[in-house]
Amino acid sequence: MTTYIIRRLLLVPVLLFGVTVLIFGMLQFLEPDERVALYIRGDPKSDAQVDAFIKKYCLDCPIYIQYKNWLIGTLDSVTGEREGGILFGNFGWSKTGSQPVAQLIARRFPNTLDLTIWAVTPVILVGIWLGVQAAVHHNGLIDQAARVFSIVGTSFPSFVFGLLMLMIFYANLQWFPPGRLTDEFNQVVNSDQFRHYTTLLTFDALLNGRIDIFLDALRHMFLPILTLSYISWATFLRVTRGSMLETLRQEYVTTARAKGLVERDVINKHAKPNAMLPLVTLAGFTVVGLMGGVIITETVFDYPGIGSAAAAASAQLDVITVLGFALFNGLILIVANLVVDILYAVVDPRVRLS
């Protein structure tokens, strides 16, 4: 197991290098005057100032020098301060956010993470339960209904489903509004009397003893969670059903039934644990997809997360911000891939012994 983990850890620097080279390659499609935003705040005042910045930050130098400066930045000859350098958390200046890209990510990512935490439980548990029920009642009424649900869920665009939910639950019933918080509670959260322990709104509300803010935050997240769950349930249902059907045909399941075990025990103790192996990878990358920001869902429900910020930057052709988000998502994906590989080895000894 230790050897397996070490092998996976040794791959991380290679993958990180590949991600940085890919993002840097995309940056080369921009003119040097556009790449100035990687090092300075705001917009240059004149063409002469732009030319001075290009010379100062070597944006017309050979590609390997530009790559080095992009990674570690440059030191100002007067102040000694480091300017630029993604390894030091400087992803450039966001024109749409009027702040450094790193600060924009730090401000938006907790909202996306908060949504992910509350969405992942119904997404995974309900999706797996639906798939198990469909497999156990193979070719029965439940299975046929589940297959129809899976087809509809897979083909139904998330923005259409989201708009439909908004029309029913907000426009007509006024139950679940879009956004993050009502104005009244938003003022409380932004005041000095509200302490931010974790930067996650729902958990901070509980730690501050504000159940009303906690419930209001969940009320605003209900429709995004429902939309994300509905789309993901279809995928989990299909994968779980297929895996369970294959497992139920194995000889050890037949042997367990021949011994007279109750069908519930055969399903829960013998078939289900082995059928869950393919779902480890699916669950891991579902979480990654949520943490990376669900652009369409966040935009439809006006949810202030990573996804809606990326959509706003794309709409205004803020390439530096978009590539900053892409780099951040790449880092999340690499770390998540490592965690999924380790978890897979834990639940399936064949992986670490191969």
Q: What are the residue boundaries of the structural domains of the chain, listed by start? A: 2-93, 99-353
Residues 143 and 131: beta-carbon distance below 8 Å: no
Q: CATH for 99-353? A: 1.10.3720.10
Count CB-CB contacts under 10 A for residue 182: 16
Quick one: pLDDT at residue 220?
Answer: 93
**For position 318, what pLDDT does the model report?**
84
Note the pLDDT of residue 32: 78
Residue whose pair of structure tokens reads 């639906």 in the numeric block: 130
Which residues does residue 83 pair with via DSSP β-bridges, in sequence order? 74
What stretch of H or E contains 292?
Answer: none
**Tens of each residue's pLDDT in the chain, 354 residues:** 677 778 888 888 898 899 899 988 888 887 777 777 777 666 665 677 777 778 777 787 888 888 888 888 777 766 767 777 888 888 888 888 888 888 999 999 999 989 888 988 888 888 888 888 888 888 888 888 888 888 888 787 888 888 889 999 998 888 999 988 898 898 989 888 899 888 899 999 999 999 999 999 999 999 999 888 888 888 888 888 888 888 888 888 888 888 888 888 888 877 877 787 778 878 887 887 787 668 888 888 989 988 888 888 888 888 888 888 888 888 888 888 888 878 777 776 666 555
Whole-number pLDDT of residue 350: 63
pLDDT score at 207: 92
According to the model, what pLDDT value does residue 336 have? 83
Q: Which stretches within 31-140 are classed as H helix?
A: 32-35, 47-56, 63-72, 101-136
What does the buried/exposed string (b/e) look like for 29-58 if buried means 16 or more CB atoms within 10 Å of the residue's CB?
ebebeebbbbbbeeebeeeeebeebbeebe
Bridge-based pairing state of the strands 99-100 and 93-94 = antiparallel
Q: Tokens 């890919």 — which residue?
A: 22
Which residue type, as a one-letter code, is found at position 104? L
Give the dihedral sign, CA 290/130/240/151: negative
